[in-house]
Amino acid sequence: MSASAMLSPMLADLAPPPPRLSATDSLFLDFDGTLVDLADNPEGVHVSTELADRLDALAAHMPGRLAIVSGRSIAQLDALFGPQAEHFTLAGSHGAERRSPEDGHDQPEKPAHLATATDEMRAVAEANDLYFETKSFGAGLHYRRNPDAEPLALREATAIAERHGLTLQPGKMMVEVRLPGDKGQAIETLMQAPAMRGTVPIFFGDDVTDEDGFEAAARLGGAGVLVGPMRDTAARYRLPDVAAVHSWLAQALENAE
């Protein structure tokens, strides 16, 4: 029996998205697990020249209507994409900050307690052999190389988030504490920009944090595209993996030419 036949009727599989973008579509792309495969730690990922050039070409075809919406900070996305990052609209830190070529960088104040919480997260990582990730508006504990530490990481991060009034954000083999915001709000805000206003958002993402984005896309008349295995989701379409996203982007670009 195929994997899709074993799914319950509530979880009937989703079709792949049609590989084309119209002049009234806006494209929103998650980063880790969608544009790049997951690696052992946050520094293990690499943006190929082919991917960056393809996104650049698509962005040129849809001026102001392509955005990367990531849990990473914009500083991290800049380091990964290099100068080409300046060409894209970015929503980073799970929507807490946004930047576009037209509107510049919109970012929140950093409250003093964020630095204290970051120090506390670092101390937990050092004491428990976890990978520590410092971000512009948060800090993460990664347990991918030490999965047994998941309960400890969740417990410690929950206590730190509660102590400092921060948002607790579980992710894939990681947990972070951060300033508020979510990808749905980020998409709704970006959709107010003149280039996107009145268009239809299509959002590709893999993680549970991307469900807010799928819901926002649907609310605004568009659709979510789940990347990865089928699950209970607000997405309308599905692609199996990052390689399929790359093929879809290549076809969408070809169909736009």
Ligand X SMILES: O=P(O)(O)OC[C@H]1O[C@H](O[C@H]2O[C@H](CO)[C@@H](O)[C@H](O)[C@H]2O)[C@H](O)[C@@H](O)[C@@H]1O
Nearer residue to ligand X within complex by CB, 148 or 257 = 148
**Stretch touching ligand X by CB under 6 A, among 13-21, 30-38, 151-159, 221-229:** 30-38
Whether residue 141 contacts residue 107, with contact meaning beta carbons closer than 8 Å, is answered with: no
Q: Does 200 bind ligand X (CB under 6 A)?
A: no
Strand order across the 237-239 sheet: 104-106, 97-100, 89-92, 66-69, 25-29, 200-205, 223-227, 237-239
**Cα–Cα distance, 239 to 255 (Å, whole number):** 18
The one catalytic residue in 25, 30, 206, 212 is 30
53 is catalytic: no
Residue 114 CA neighbour count, 13 Å, CB half: 16
Nearer residue to ligand X within complex by CB, 25 or 212 = 212
Q: Which residues of 216-233 are buried (b: 16+ CB within 10 A; e: fewer)?
A: bbbebebbbbbbbebeeb
**Stretch touching ligand X by CB under 6 A, among 27-35, 55-63, 225-233, 234-242:** 27-35
**Cα–Cα distance, 141 to 96 (Å, whole number):** 19
Nearer residue to ligand X within complex by CB, 41 or 247 = 41
Nearer residue to ligand X within complex by CB, 21 or 29 = 29
Number of residues lying near ligand X (CB under 6 A): 24
Q: Does 186 bind ligand X (CB under 6 A)?
A: no
What residues pair up with 133 in beta bridges, in sequence order? 140
Q: Does 211 bind ligand X (CB under 6 A)?
A: no
Active-site residues, by number, are: 30
Residues that bind ligand X (CB under 6 A): 30-33, 38-42, 44-45, 70-72, 133, 135, 140, 142, 144, 171-174, 207
